Structure 1
């Protein structure tokens, strides 16, 4: 289980916290949608769950243990803007390798073409680049996946392909997901339950 326990976080000390005593549980194989207004702290919560930010108070546990300080983290995050999450000087093949050994089955599931791997990030569309970021995040050690508006900028066909692949893979491997989206309709379609940040406050 991925747990956020009594998380308190503010970007400026002394100001009102962005997150105030927030608690969240994500079970293996579960897809939890987080639906709240813009600026309410959804992305901040995902950053804390994945170790990119450290809470002022509270704790994140993954399968009963704190997030690892070194090495591969079993909680992986996929960002809204994939171009900001990759090194523009690396080929896509090298970017994929950052997630561990290659997985041709996953590449097929997400529609990655072999010739794309020889290209650089700037030579791919947003949808193509996001597929690579998802496959990279789904390394064999991943137990939980955090998705922050990952298809918001993509066309409907690409959105459907990506979510079909994600649901198939996370169900097969019992990977838990936390999904942030401004689209309640999308969350209704892809998540097993939906919560608001207000509901997560202790």
Structure 2
């Protein structure tokens, strides 16, 4: 994966690190890092972020710079003898040197005096707080949180559907019971009506009709 990062940056070095600090070049550089991150995730099945890829690259460059400084010191001590074979066979180190070996950040200022640094350099708070970045091919923390949220939403949705289904079943039972009660009531009142018709005298019907006609004439 480190070789993949190095090859992409080496081929498009001017886009990743533009010499002109304009808004347009900054936008192109940012887009290049985004594209590199997408290619990494698609190629290796990882889920890294753009800032993590940039940090990985800076760590690679820092380590290569240390190796290069040690090689130059060794060459000066041996009068130009062969360097470290392990570094020579390191494709990432070799590619970084091919891009930055002639820069002042690697070779130092031409004609300048080399000062030996005793002891370890003080670590910045940023380096102390962060561990060396390692690519993780597993799901990121954000993806795990998203998956957990989706699972909880699905469980709540299924639970709500179950409650709705149970409520509908209860309503169906109530409707069935009400229908039975209404059916019994209907049969009862129909029987009463039929019983009333059978017990009614023919004269009662005539008296009722006459009463209605007399009441209508009074109006």
Name the TM-score class by shorter chain.
under 0.3
Q: Which has the larger radius of gyration?
A: 2
Return the TM-score normalized by structure 1.
0.18
Q: Which has the higher strand share?
A: 1
Return the TM-score normalized by structure 2.
0.17
Q: Which has the higher helix share?
A: 2
